[in-house]
Amino acid sequence: MILDACRRARRPVVLATVMRVTGSAYRRPGARMLIDPSGESVGMVSGGCLENDLQQRAAEVLASERPRTVVYDMRSPDDIVWGLGLGCDGEVRVLLERIDPQQQPPWMQFAALLRRERRYGAVATLCEEGPLGPLGQRWWMDEAGEGELIDEVAPSLREALQAGHSCAAQWGESSGFIERIQPAVSLVIFGAGNDAEPLVQQARALDWQVRCFDQREETPVKAEHLDYRTFDVDALALDRRSAVVLMTHHFLHDQTLLERLAEQPLGFLGLLGPRRRKEKMLESLSLSSAALETLHAPVGLDIGSETPQEIALSILSEIQARLAGRDGGSLRLRDAPLHDWPR
Exposure string of 20-58, with b = 16+ CB inside 10 Å and e = fewer, is bbeeebbbbbbbbbbbbeeeebbbbbbeebbbeebbebb
C-alpha of 92 from chain center: 20
pLDDT tens, 224-263? 999 999 999 999 999 999 999 999 999 999 999 999 999 9
Poorest-pLDDT segment among 61-75, 123-137, 227-241 = 61-75
Domains and CATH numbers, the chain: 2-103 (no CATH), 106-181 (no CATH), 186-323 (3.40.50.720)
pLDDT tens, 189-201? 999 999 999 999 9
DSSP letter string over 61-126? Answer: HHHH---EEEEEE--STHHHHHS-----SEEEEEEEEEE-GGG--HHHHHHHHHHHHT--EEEEEE
Asked if 6 contacts 33 with a C-beta cutoff of 8 angstroms, the reply is no
Name the band, by pLDDT with cuts 50, 70 and 90, for residue 40. Answer: confident
Name the band, by pLDDT with cuts 50, 70 and 90, for residue 343. Answer: very low
C-alpha of 295 from chain center: 22
pLDDT tens, 96-115? 999 887 788 999 999 989 98
Name the band, by pLDDT with cuts 50, 70 and 90, for residue 82. Answer: very low
The percentage of residues in the chain with a pLDDT greater than 70, rounded to a whole number, is: 88
Name the band, by pLDDT with cuts 50, 70 and 90, for residue 81. Answer: very low
Asked if 32 contacts 17 with a C-beta cutoff of 8 angstroms, the reply is yes
If one compares 203 and 112, the residue with the highest pLDDT of the two is: 203
Per-residue pLDDT at 85:
47
Q: Using the 8-state DSSP alphabet, how is residue 183 labeled? A: P
CA-based end-to-end distance of the chain: 24
What residue spans of 164-265 are helical by DSSP H? 196-205, 251-261
Max mean pLDDT among 74-78, 90-94, 108-112, 308-312 falls in 308-312
Q: Among 121, 133, 122, which residue's Cα sits nearest to residue 171?
A: 133
Total-model pTM: 0.83
